[in-house]
């Protein structure tokens, strides 16, 4: 048995110094470090894991939920929408920072090599998911975002300014005893156990949400919706440093796949035509935004006889399902495809059963976090918070980057603290870290954590009551002693024990804050059964929480700041702050008075031939190990050359991947050459790297020539990738792309269509209308509407196509090309087609027709038996709502049986 760790002497601590200390190497933390370093500060980045793979972003991102792209959305509209989604309780100045600075952040990320989806003309392919506003920007190579950020951190000029210490976990922010400003942090190394003290001019907390709060239905501690390493570290550190937290009663609760700790991804599926339904196939969601109110509707439907609830995909055509799978089973969660396969489920035959996640605390997806202003400053001087830790409602990934940037910029003003550090704070942090070593045979962390989080589920998860919340507070107080008695023998176990203390702090904050807000707000997020109504008179206030001088948890009701963007539904009352003090618990020792009489009730299997023993994998090739070590130093092409020419395909593939991570000068032509490698894994790695780096590779002649040569490779995936990159970098012409229309691969021909759209080659596009593959003809229909000067005439052959999906796509394209009378008459007739896809396309086409032809036909379509046809009709009628007949038709649709139809029809009154 290994020798257990011993408690190190506080005097033997490792001391570090920096201008700006960044705690957490995820989304916000990496951006904060980069910005502070760019502004001249010496930065220390601490990460309890490894920055290359840490944070929620390490698993990838399928898209941006809140991209305010000029021409597609307005900042004020976004601010108003977030205000509504959060029931009026927002500091609009913080939300507006994301709204106004988000697009510049998208462009900055692009300059790093992050790829966002664009159309054939290079414009951002923003999609509408919610009923108002188009803010979702897909990321086809989103799985590589963290790799791109790490590449930036390891650039030579950044390495001179940013020191990264992996496997170091801070547990407390250190403050100045006189003025309370942040002056550093104390923590320990999660592999060696050494105590680490940092002096800093400013501290930025970027530790993510408290995702490990409630217990998943599986009972598995780390099977959480959020990244399970996010245990509320920053929430607890900010609290103990004296910072105010706010909205802690507003939980994060998400829809997920039943029995799988991952999102159902309606954000991905909805733009492809997926939607949420009950077991009868009925859409039921009334809310416009994925908020607590929407989750309340979701929970109510799930609990009714109309449950279960599903994400419906089975009605979609094969090519669409394939596209959804390519995103959900790679970028989002690679294990997702395996999960469905093991259950014998296929999106073509099975809709996805959905459920509700455990509760958590998160600013980025809800509203709970450390209180910050519009420069990411907390209420403690020189202490900043950014990302999911900061209370900027529904801030998501782009907001995390924006506030990381804001924090890094503001914090870069300060220089390293050189004074004495408070010994009492250091000793307390030391004791918090090492006390489990004094009791190695004490209860192990998994047992204590399970019990703690079981209490969270039993007493804190909504719907809430004062009695259950009071029982929760008593349980969490009692468990402080049990947590102090946990045992550990290794540094890793010390990390887990410290995390349990953070979870307990967050659990108590959640329970006490929920007790203090005596109303219901945010739908399911804060549903109080004993206070069921929303009370805007007394409670359109932020509920701030802080640690009092005596160590108690006290509360203040803080008025909402005057709105920057008026939202008619809410009128913040203003006025002074109300000091609420400590929250009073509901008596729960006995059920009613002890001496009272009972009161009346007021109203998939293992194959038989499977091997019994799985052979151990072969050890990695020594050259692979040398290559992986080399990557950390950002090698140039000369250093990678021998590996790129290695006889072993595995080494060559790894070298190509390394090239994609470091992207030295000359990368483009080398990757294009690897597209012609004899080994498929090498070609695949080169294809992936090219698509990832397309935004940062210079369009040089040698690169273009290499891509053109790759069009002759027998591997269709390579030919498709080469066309994709040629189009994106504007390195091809109509003749080159038209030649690819004869390719035997459907995927390549679809890419050829996109490329032809990018050069507005209408004649060549129209020539592909007779392609034998439906997917290509659908792409042609959509492409003819996407050229810069679209016209309806080239669509004529596709409007008579024998395949209903092609006819539907061609009809829908008329909305973009224009729909003159002859075509409008054809669309009106198509409203009687047997296929609902054709009828939906026809209703969409009439959006561009004259009102006299369009409105009567669309009004009739409101009686269509298919809800998607009625929805298309309503959306087209909204375009014509200046006509009285259109408004009358929309008024009638306000009582439609389908929630989407009702919701869109009601917008006519706005």
Give the pLDDT mean for 480-507: 97
Query: Tokens for 305?
Result: 């006889």
Asked if 827 contacts 857 with a C-beta cutoff of 8 angstroms, the reply is: yes
Give dist(CA 70, CA 81) in Å, integer.
17
User: Average pLDDT over the chain, rounded to whole?
Assistant: 91
Q: What is the DSSP letter of 45?
A: E
- Average the pLDDT over 178-187 and give the result: 97
Say how many Å lie between the first and final Cα of the chain, rounded. Answer: 71
462 or 73, higher pLDDT:
462
3-state secondary structure of 881: coil
Distance CA 548, CA 534 (A): 29
pLDDT digits (tens, 9 = 90+) for 851-866: 999 999 999 999 999 9
Mean per-residue pLDDT, 268-282:
85
State the pLDDT at residue 595.
63
What residue has token string 């080169």?
Answer: 686
Question: Average pLDDT, stretch 672-683?
Answer: 94
Residue 607, pLDDT score: 45
Q: How far apart are CA 488 and CA 444, in angstroms?
A: 7
Which helix (H) or strand (E) is 166 found in, with range? strand 162-166
Q: Round to whole Å and give the CA distance between 658 and 637.
A: 10
Contact assessment for residue 677 and residue 709, using Cβ atoms and an 8 Å cutoff: no
- The whole-number pLDDT of residue 139 equals 74
Distance between CA atoms of 219 and 214, rounded to whole angstroms?
Answer: 10
For β-strands 137-138 and 63-64, DSSP reports them as antiparallel
Distance CA 591, CA 593 (A): 7
User: How many residues are recorded in the chain?
Assistant: 910
Least confident span in 533-537, 563-567, 647-651: 647-651
Q: What is the reported pLDDT for 331?
A: 61
At residue 611 the predicted structure's pLDDT band, cuts being 50, 70 and 90, is very low
pLDDT of residue 186: 98
Higher-confidence residue: 909 or 214? Answer: 214
Query: What pLDDT is attached to residue 592?
Result: 66
| pLDDT attached to residue 126 | 80
- Helices then strands, counting H and E runs in the chain, come out as 35, 18
The pLDDT of residue 59 is: 64
Predicted pLDDT at 612: 46
- Say what percent of the chain tops pLDDT 70: 93
Omega before residue 308 within 30° of 0, cis = yes
| pLDDT of amino acid 15 | 97
Angle of the 27-38 helix axis to the 145-153 helix axis, nearest 10: 30
Give the torsion sign (CA, 474, 478, 484, 490): negative
Among 137-146, 221-230, 748-757, the range scoring the smallest mean pLDDT is 137-146
pLDDT tier at 377 (50, 70, 90 boundaries)?
very high
pLDDT for the residue numbered 332? 59
What's the whole-number mean pLDDT along residues 554-581?
94
Average pLDDT value for residue range 687-697: 89
**576 pLDDT above the threshold of 70:** yes
Query: Residue 615: pLDDT above 70?
Result: no
Predicted confidence (pLDDT) at residue 144 exceeds the cutoff of 90: no
Kind plus residue range of the DSSP H or E element containing 504: helix 491-516
Q: What mean pLDDT comes out for the span 456-473?
A: 97
Question: Is the pLDDT at 129 greater than 80, yes or no?
Answer: no
| Per-residue burial over 491-529, b = 16 or more CB atoms within 10 Å of its CB, e = otherwise | bebbbbbbbbbbbbbbbbbbbbbbbbbebbbbbbbbbbe
**8 A C-beta contact, residue 324 and residue 356:** no
- C-alpha–C-alpha distance, residues 438 and 5, integer Å: 10
Q: Residues 36-95: pLDDT tens digits?
A: 999 999 999 999 999 988 887 776 665 677 788 898 889 999 999 999 989 999 999 999
User: pTM for the full model?
Assistant: 0.86
When mean pLDDT is compared over 265-274, 523-532, 690-699, the highest value belongs to: 523-532
**What's the CA gap between 554 and 557, in Å, rounded?**
11
Tell me: the pLDDT tens digits for 163-175?
Answer: 999 999 999 999 9
Percent of the chain with pLDDT strictly greater than 90: 71
CA distances from 900 to 376, 548, 865, 885, 906 (A): 37, 48, 14, 21, 10
Look at 355 and 2; give whichever has higher pLDDT.
355
Give how far the C-alpha of residue 407 lies from the chain's centroid of Cα atoms, to the nearest Å.
21
Confidence at residue 767, expressed as pLDDT on a 0 to 100 scale: 93
Is residue 634 left, alpha or beta, with left meaning phi > 0 and alpha meaning psi from -120 to 50?
A: left
Region of poorest pLDDT, from 265-274, 286-295, 481-490, 732-741: 265-274
Cα–Cα dist 202/184, whole Å: 7
Q: Is 826 exposed, middle or buried (0-12, 13-18, 19+ CB in 10 A)?
A: middle
What 725-729 contacts at long range (C-beta under 8 Å, 24+ apart), as own/partner pairs, is 725/690, 725/691, 725/694, 726/755, 727/120, 727/751, 727/754, 727/755, 727/758, 728/118, 728/122, 728/694, 729/694, 729/697, 729/699, 729/703, 729/704
Res. 590: pLDDT tops 90: no
Task: Kindly indicate the confidence band of residue 606, based on its pLDDT and cuts at 50, 70 and 90.
Answer: very low
224 near 216, Cβ under 8 Å? Answer: yes
Structure tokens that stand for 280 in this block: 């009868």
- Please give the backbone phi and psi of residue 806, each rounded to the nearest 5 degrees, phi first: -70, -45
Cβ–Cβ under 8 Å, residues 783 and 756: yes
Contact residues for 85 (Cβ-Cβ < 8 A; gap 6+): 289, 290, 291, 393, 394
Indicate the range of 541-550, 574-583, 615-624 predicted with least confidence: 615-624
**HSE of 902, CA atoms in CB hemisphere, 13 A:** 12
Between 231 and 290, the higher pLDDT residue: 231
Residue with tokens 């300060």: 414
Of 663 and 729, the structure prediction assigns the larger pLDDT to 729
Residue 892 has a pLDDT of 93
**Two tokens at 415?**
């220089």
Q: Give the relative orientation of helices 821-830 and 836-845 as an angle to the nearest 10 degrees.
A: 150
d(CA 404, CA 34): 9
Residue 594 CB contacts under 8 Å (≥ 6 apart), including other chains: none
Q: Please check the confidence at residue 608 and state whether its pLDDT lies above 50.
A: no
Mean pLDDT of 400-412: 97
Q: What average pLDDT score do residues 235-246 get?
A: 98
Q: Which residues contact 34 (CB under 8 A, 6 or more apart)?
A: 149, 152, 153, 158, 162, 408
Measured on CA atoms in the order 530, 532, 536, 541, is the torsion positive or negative? positive
Cα separation, 536 vs 889, in Å, equals: 35
- State both tokens at 25: 């190497």
Burial of 119 (0-12, 13-18, 19+ CB in 10 A): middle
Question: 1-38 pLDDT, tens per residue?
Answer: 456 799 999 999 999 999 999 999 999 999 999 999 99
H helices of 694-795, in order, are 701-710, 716-728, 734-739, 746-758, 762-767, 774-786
DSSP 3-state of 187:
strand
**pLDDT tens per residue, range 758-787:** 999 999 999 999 999 999 999 999 999 999
Q: Are 421 and 183 in contact (CB under 8 A)?
A: yes
């Amino acid at each position: 048995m290994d020798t257990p760790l011993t408690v190190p002497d506080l005097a033997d601590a490792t001391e570090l110094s920096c201008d700006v200390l960044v705690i957490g190497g995820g989304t916000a933390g990496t951006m904060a470090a980069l910005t502070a370093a760019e502004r001249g500060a010496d930065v220390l980045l601490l990460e309890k894991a490894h920055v290359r793979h840490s944070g929620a972003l390490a698993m990838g991102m399928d898209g941006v939920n809140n991209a305010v792209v000029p021409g597609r959305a307005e900042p004020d509209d976004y601010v108003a929408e977030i205000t509504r989604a959060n029931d009026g309780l927002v500091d609009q100045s913080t939300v507006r920072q994301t709204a106004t600075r988000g697009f510049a952040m998208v462009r900055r990320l692009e300059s790093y090599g992050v790829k966002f989806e664009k159309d054939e003309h290079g414009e951002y392919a923003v999609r509408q998911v919610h009923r108002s506003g188009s803010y979702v920007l897909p990321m086809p190579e989103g799985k590589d975002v963290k790799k791109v950020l790490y590449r930036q951190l390891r650039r030579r000029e950044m390495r001179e300014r940013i020191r990264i210490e992996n496997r170091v976990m801070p547990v407390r922010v250190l403050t100045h005893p006189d003025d309370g400003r942040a002056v550093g942090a104390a923590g320990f190394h999660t592999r060696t156990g050494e105590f680490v003290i940092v002096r800093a001019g400013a501290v930025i907390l970027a530790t993510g949400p408290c995702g490990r709060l409630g217990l998943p239905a599986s009972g598995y501690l780390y099977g959480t919706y959020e990244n399970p390493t996010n245990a509320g570290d920053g929430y607890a550190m900010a609290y103990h440093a004296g910072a105010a937290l706010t909205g802690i009663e507003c939980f994060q609760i998400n829809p997920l796949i039943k029995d799988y700790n991952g999102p159902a991804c309606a954000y991905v599926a909805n733009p492809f035509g997926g939607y949420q339904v009950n077991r009868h196939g009925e859409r039921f969601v009334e809310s416009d935004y994925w908020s607590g109110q929407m989750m309340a509707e979701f929970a109510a439907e799930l609990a009714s006889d109309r449950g279960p609830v599903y994400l419906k995909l089975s009605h979609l055509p094969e090519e669409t399902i394939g596209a959804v799978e390519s995103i959900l089973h790679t970028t989002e969660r690679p294990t997702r495809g395996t999960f469905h396969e093991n259950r014998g489920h296929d999106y073509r035959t099975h809709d996805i059963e959905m459920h509700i996640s455990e509760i958590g605390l998160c600013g980025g997806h809800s509203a709970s976090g450390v209180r910050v202003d519009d420069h990411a400053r907390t209420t403690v001087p020189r202490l900043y918070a950014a990302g999911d830790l900061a209370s900027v409602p529904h801030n998501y990934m782009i907001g995390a980057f924006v506030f990381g940037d804001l924090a890094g910029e503001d914090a870069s003003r300060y220089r390293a603290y050189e004074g004495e550090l408070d010994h009492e704070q250091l000793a307390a942090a030391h004791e918090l870290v090492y006390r489990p070593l004094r009791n190695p045979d004490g209860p192990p962390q998994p047992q204590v954590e399970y019990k703690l989080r079981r209490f969270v589920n039993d007493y804190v998860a909504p719907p809430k009551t004062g009695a259950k919340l009071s029982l929760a507070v008593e349980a969490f107080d009692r468990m402080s002693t049990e947590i102090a008695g946990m045992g550990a023998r290794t540094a890793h176990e010390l990390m887990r024990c410290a995390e349990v203390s953070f979870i307990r702090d967050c659990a108590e904050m959640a329970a006490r804050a929920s007790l203090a807000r005596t109303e219901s707000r945010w739908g399911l997020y804060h549903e109080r059964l004993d206070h069921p109504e929303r009370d805007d008179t007394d409670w359109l206030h932020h509920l701030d929480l802080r640690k009092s001088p005596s160590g108690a948890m006290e509360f203040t009701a803080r008025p909402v700041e005057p709105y920057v963007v008026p939202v008619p539904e809410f009128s913040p009352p203003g006025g002074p702050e109300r000091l609420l003090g400590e929250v009073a618990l509901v008596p729960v020792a006995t059920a009613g008075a002890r001496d009272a009489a009972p009161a009346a009730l007021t109203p998939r299997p293992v194959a038989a031939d499977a091997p019994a023993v799985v052979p151990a994998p072969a050890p990695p090739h020594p050259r692979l190990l040398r290559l992986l070590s080399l990557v950390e130093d950002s090698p140039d092409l000369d250093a990678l050359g021998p590996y790129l020419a290695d006889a072993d395909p595995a080494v060559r593939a790894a070298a190509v991947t390394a090239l994609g991570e470091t992207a030295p000068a000359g990368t483009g032509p080398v990757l294009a050459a690897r597209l012609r490698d004899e080994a498929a894994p090498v070609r695949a790695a080169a294809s992936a790297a090219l698509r990832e780096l397309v935004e940062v590779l210079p369009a040089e002649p040698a690169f273009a020539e290499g891509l053109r040569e790759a069009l002759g490779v027998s591997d269709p995936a390579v030919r498709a990738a080469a066309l994709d990159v040629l189009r994106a970098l504007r390195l091809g012409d109509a003749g080159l792309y038209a030649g690819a229309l004869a390719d035997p691969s459907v995927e390549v021909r679809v890419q050829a269509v996109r490329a032809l759209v990018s050069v507005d080659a209408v004649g060549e596009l129209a020539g592909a209308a007779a392609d034998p593959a439906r997917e290509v003809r659908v792409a042609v229909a959509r492409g003819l509407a996407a050229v810069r000067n679209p016209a309806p005439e080239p669509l004529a052959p596709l409007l008579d196509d024998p395949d209903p999906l092609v006819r539907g796509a061609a009809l829908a394209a008329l909305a973009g090309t224009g729909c003159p009378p002859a075509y409008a008459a054809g669309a009106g007739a198509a409203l009687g087609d047997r296929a609902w896809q054709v009828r939906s396309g026809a209703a969409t086409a009439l959006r561009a027709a004259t009102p006299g032809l369009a409105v009567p036909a669309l009004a009739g379509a409101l009686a269509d038996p298919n809800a998607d046809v009625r929805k298309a009709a309503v959306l087209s009628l909204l375009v014509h709502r200046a006509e009285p007949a259109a408004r009358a038709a929309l008024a009638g649709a306000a009582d439609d049986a389908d929630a989407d139809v009702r919701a869109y029809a009601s917008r006519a009154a706005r």
